[in-house]
Structure 1
Amino acid sequence: MDLWTLFTTAFLVGLSGAAAPGPLTGMAVREASRGGFWRGWSVALGHAMPEALLVAGLAYGLGSWLSQAPVVGTLSIIGGLVLLWMGRSTVLEARTARLPGAGDAAGRPAGNAVLAGVGTTLSNPYWFLWWATIGSGYVALSQAGGILAVAVFFAGHILADIGWLGLVAGLVASGRRFIGDGVYRGVLAFLGVFLLGFGVYFLWTGWRFLSGNA
């Protein structure tokens, strides 16, 4: 997988997770509704901190383990199955989803928005599930390209998070004039189909590693 493909797919996979309604989006909505765009966007910066540490740990502390063909194959297959599940759920959700509004913000205590992003991330069990399956598989696949490939993967992934949460913060801060529920559903539907396709790719890659054909 070349660097451009790695960046693009990491961005789209990251965007599919970021765009789905969840606690992090709720926190960004809450902070933006209270303090404007930059306060809401700061939640994304807080989210990026534990993600950067985790990717570094996977790339360095677990690099030799992740580079083994059986590990790469197993993680890719598990990640592929999770992607298929997430893709199906996203496609189904797209039929009735609505863009989060200020009234959807989670009822958490006010505080530093960056720390709120860190806390919301670490308190979300689905975040750990994502990195234990899809994320770790992606890092393992990136290992073949060295540190640059891992950095490109992380850049694509985190830019999706920052971009989406920035969009949500901007919409809440300025009003819902630029996007409606129909566009939001269309985005979710596209990302759901993309997840399904990439899940198949992960399964195929995992089979190649486990069968010795990689």
Structure 2
Amino acid sequence: MTFATIGISLEKGSRSGGSVFIGHAFVELIIFILILVGISSSISETMLSYLTMIGCLMMLILGMMLIKSAKGDSTMEILESESRMKLSLNPIYAGILTSALNPYFVIWWLAAGTAILLHEYMISVFAVIAFIFGHWIADLGFIVAVASSSSKGKEMISKNTYKRTLYFCGGLLMTCGLWFLINYNNVSAMI
């Protein structure tokens, strides 16, 4: 999600960080509810493997979109590429996709996250609410800081550095997607 946030904020500006967070928080809210109703104990290894493969493919697609956007800058102005990208990559959807389809995010919530959330639930409903809001404040702060620094940094860097940053973020997204795809059986075994 960090690399997607950097790439999107370079394209759409610092306000996109809040939108990425909204998508991320939406996915987490669903996960919180599912954990509290007990669904985490019924997730099968096969289901996790499918989720991992879909997540890998989505990371590859998002990485290719960032690289395609950077390639377009070699013949067109940056503003033209920004208008193209606005049609193709919505920050809220990026937050949803990079959260829901990240195998390690899901594994963390099925393991450690479930334990933490259920521990808070045993204390009180207010402890759960405090945990969720505290978690979201930290997530929002991090995502907004990444988006703001990336977006403001764009004004200080050259067009070539801007393009290289998009290539780097797209390449890292694709590398992570390929790594997860190659090792998806190991990811599933971690549960």
Q: TM-score, normalised by structure 1?
A: 0.54
What do the CA deviations read for 1:101-159 (whole angstroms, capped 9, x no partner)?
9x96xxxxxxxxxxxxxxx86xx55554444434xx343221333356xx9x9899756
For residue 182 of structure 2, what is the amino acid of its counterpart? W
Higher relative helix content:
2
Following superposition, the deviation at residue 80 of structure 1 comes to 0.6
What runs of 5+ residues in structure 1 fail to find an aligned partner?
1-13, 30-39, 105-119
Q: Would you say 1:82 and 2:58 are equivalent positions?
A: yes
**Which amino acid is 1:163 matched to?**
A
Residue 201 (structure 1) aligns with:
179
Residues 54-99 of structure 1: per-residue CA shift (max 9 Å, x gap): 3132244155168431222111111111112222332333233465
Aligned partner of 2:101 in structure 1 is: 133
Q: In 2 relative to 1, CA 19–50 (structure 1 residues): closer, same or farther, beyond 3 Å?
A: closer
Tell whether 2:20 aligns with 1:16.
no
Any gaps of 5 or more consecutive residues in structure 2? Answer: 84-89, 117-131
Number of residues of Structure 1 aligned to a counterpart in Structure 2 = 162
Task: Determine whether 1:61 maps to 2:34.
Answer: yes
Is the CA contact 1:45–1:162 (under 8 Å) kept in the aligned structure 2? yes
Sort the Cα spacing of 1:198 and 1:156 in 2 relative to 1 into closer, same or farther, 3 A. Answer: farther
TM-score, normalising length: structure 2: 0.59
Structure 1 residue 202 displacement after superposition: 1.6
Aligned CA-pair RMSD? 4.3
Matched ranges for 1:1-214 at <5 A: 14-21=1-8, 26=12, 29=13, 44-45=17-18, 47-49=20-22, 51-61=24-34, 64=40, 67-97=43-73, 125=93, 127-134=95-102, 137-142=103-108, 143-146=110-113, 161-167=143-149, 170=152, 176=155, 178-208=156-186
